[in-house]
Structure 1
């Protein structure tokens, strides 16, 4: 991984960062891979949200020109935006783990590189942290009905939420939502090992097992298709199921 400030680091080695007092309200952790067509539009939408924030973009080994776009249009040109690079594709979870040590916000949120979610929903998510007992806030796509999506995605989302309710006794409706926000110190305290999309079930399991409170708020959602660039596959659903089972009983 190379960072926009010239450093280089592979995920498997230790990244030593001395945390400072929070400079921002929110750190937006944005893993991207082959998102050249949506990235600049998304970045404009994130920048338009009226909250003091930083954006930490991790290019996860893109091959479609995303990296070159970041270098040409973003890196070093927009205040409070930092860019990091993986030399090879390592996965969404790995990209989040790359960005997290550099976060300087009191809270952090995960933002995919597409346009399925509306960054204006950061505001309702952050409002839920007014309760000091809340450690994480999930933006639920399903509290006001089922948005349009592929049947397979609908079924796996229902199954994962059911597993959290049944195995972890926690009433979530949307375990797999991208919009997961955390108190940054809480997320840093979790011993994450994820590489790919298993970030979602792993972080959910470990939050609950460590008795952190998760609340949900409704958000907007517009699914994209595989043809439009959606990357999650049925095999990721199987891994998510196994991850929830594994961390229900694992010691960590």
Structure 2
């Protein structure tokens, strides 16, 4: 069955790769078989990425939407911008840095309503030992406190748009992905885990490893435990009233 797609590309200072990533997404979706939209989110870039995005949108006004943040709001808000502005049946965001191989989505352009697609990086050779240690701690926290056993909660995932727009998402940082997956796990949705390449960065620098960002993530994870508990209680109460 042909399914329609929203693919978001999130960008912060990715002038050297954003056009390339857009072209890969365009080639994937523009097959004449499905309706689609591409949402380009710029999180207040200062390197000329915004102008490239605007040029792309002007050349493809029927298929491309732009969301341009005047101030940098972080990856969580960029992700939310994609998910909550999506209009098609399925939604996924990909990073504008070119480290995800967009063609890996091809076999999963159709998937069941009670499933979601989770790509995972088997080996992250581009991460330092410090970042790999943080990734391990994040994964351990997810398992112990959120009941999540996904291999890579922080990589690319595809969902049913209607499902995630009705999850009452509270988080505004990158932890939003843990929130989504924990809630879907509780609601008995099945993750389809797919091994993914992690391509080397060809432009710019990673923005996620600063001490400030790391401390914020762990503070947000502690909040998420309480949020998930409230979600479970509310869901149980709603079921009892049916």
With the length of structure 2 as denominator, give the TM-score of the two structures: 0.80
1:16 aligned partner: none
2:121 aligned partner: 141
Q: Find the aligned partners of 2:19 and 2:200 in 1 and give their Cα distance.
A: 19
How big is each residue's C-alpha offset from its partner over 1:134-160, in whole Å with a ceiling of 9 and x where there is no partner? 1x2210112xx4544222222222222
Q: Is the 8 A contact 1:138 1:181 kept in 2?
A: yes
Structure 1 position 115, deviation (Å): 0.9
| Aligned partner of 1:215 among 192, 213, 216 | 192
**Residues 212 and 235 from structure 1, CA distance in 2 versus in 1: closer, same or farther, beyond 3 angstroms?**
farther
The secondary structure found in structure 1 opposite 2:58 is coil
1:14 aligned partner: none
Q: Find the aligned partners of 1:138 and 1:172 in 2 and give their Cα distance.
A: 8
How big is each residue's C-alpha offset from its partner over 1:116-142, in whole Å with a ceiling of 9 and x where there is no partner? 110011123445x24x421x2210112
1:29 aligned partner: 8
| Aligned partner of 1:54 among 24, 37, 43 | 37
1:150 aligns to 2:128 (yes or no): yes
1:74 aligned partner: 56
Structure 1 position 84, deviation (Å): 1.7
Structure ranking higher in helix proportion: 2
Paired residue total: 222
Structure 1 position 172, deviation (Å): 0.9
Gaps of 5+ in 2: 232-242
With the length of structure 1 as denominator, give the TM-score of the two structures: 0.77
1:42 aligned partner: 21
Deviates more, 1:95-104 or 1:111-120: 95-104
1:246 aligned partner: 223
1:229 aligns to 2:205 (yes or no): yes
Q: Is the 8 A contact 1:29 1:56 kept in 2?
A: yes
The structure 1 segments of at least 4 consecutive aligned residues displaced by more than 6 Å after TM superposition are none
> How large is the RMSD of aligned CA atoms in angstroms?
2.5
1:97 aligns to 2:73 (yes or no): no
Q: Is the 8 A contact 1:205 1:247 kept in 2?
A: no
**Residues 133 and 75 from structure 1, CA distance in 2 versus in 1: closer, same or farther, beyond 3 angstroms?**
closer
Q: Find the aligned partners of 2:220 and 2:120 in 1 and give their Cα distance.
A: 20
Structure 1 position 186, deviation (Å): 0.9
1:107 aligned partner: 90
